[in-house]
Amino acid sequence: MEGKEEDVRVGANKFPERQPIGTSAQSDKDYKEPPPAPLFEPGELGSWSFWRAGIAEFIATFLFLYITVLTVMGVKRAPNMCASVGIQGIAWAFGGMIFALVYCTAGISGGHINPAVTFGLFLARKLSLTRAVYYIVMQCLGAICGAGVVKGFQPKQYQALGGGANTVAPVTPKEVVLELRLLEPLSLFTPSFPPLTPRETLILAPLPIGFAVFLVHLATIPITGTGINPARSLGAAIIFNKDNAWDDHWVFWVGPFIGAALAALYHVIVIRAIPFKSRS
């Protein structure tokens, strides 16, 4: 069968294309691409769904920080890795929380829980600038409150154990760290743009997203400490508020945002092939 060809149709344009049998083609699951979100949508501000979506992002990021910071502190408190959940436990905490929180909030806000994800979806024209800014503000506030609650319950241990703040390992060159920061979010955000219909996305997307978060943390915690969520990095840094938490803080924003932009480009050109579809 290899080498034979068949006619396939790509997306909404009805131009035939020669493609070898057995290779991937656009499936009949493809749906009509919704119109791009407007840059500004003032009508959103008068809608309760807009405000409750931001509240959902706040609560989700709050819970995410609360659980993950406690997990990181628990590992640092143990005399050795074998006496704690270790790196695998930290990775499961991050990935499992993202899976659960995206599943709970996907139908309300889209389940972003990460400013870089919001930024990538904004670049892909999936939401307005108004909503994107609102989400990012609520995510950062939720992260600050989540880390603050942990410190409120255990102030001495929080400061002694580093407060879950992200820091760059001194033996890792910044250039290598920045490169990893680009690869981490790209591997994370690619599942955030799955080739599914909107209804399938709500049901199936949380699993690959959560699993991607787990794998990224499992692979890169020993190298860079992993910081693919700028809100998580900001919340822990503000509450911990020590110099080492701020020295390379920019890395935990620039890398994920560039990675999100690359993922948005991949979504638009490769997954949806939007530039190659006919425009009505």
> Per mean pLDDT, which of 55-69, 157-171, 251-265 is the most reliable?
55-69
What is the tens place of the pLDDT at every residue in 51-104? 999 999 999 999 999 999 999 998 888 877 777 888 899 999 999 999 999 999
- Is the confidence at residue 148, as pLDDT, over 90? yes
Residues with Cβ < 8 Å from 21, sequence gap 6 or more? 1, 2, 4, 5, 6
Least confident segment among 59-73, 164-178, 256-270: 164-178
Domain assignment present for residue 14? The answer is no
Summarize the confidence of residues 203-207 as an average pLDDT. Answer: 78
| Residue 24, in any domain of the structure | no
Give the separation between CA 25 and CA 20, rounded to whole angstroms. 10
Judge whether 2 lies within some domain.
no
In a domain, 226, yes or no: yes
CATH code for position 64: 1.20.1080.10
- CA–CA separation, 275 and 267 (whole Å): 11
pTM of the model: 0.81
Domain carrying residue 231: 46-276
Q: Lowest mean pLDDT: which of 28-42, 87-101, 183-197? A: 183-197
Would 185 be classed as within a structural domain? Answer: yes
Residue 191 has pLDDT above 90, yes or no: no
Would residue 129 count as lying in a domain? yes
At 25, the pLDDT band (50, 70, 90 cuts) reads: very low
> Does residue 137 fall inside a structural domain?
yes
Higher pLDDT residue, 116 or 180? 116
> pLDDT higher for 204 or 116?
116
> How many domains, in total, are found in the chain?
1
Q: Answer whether residue 216 is part of any domain.
A: yes
pLDDT given for residue 130 in this prediction: 93
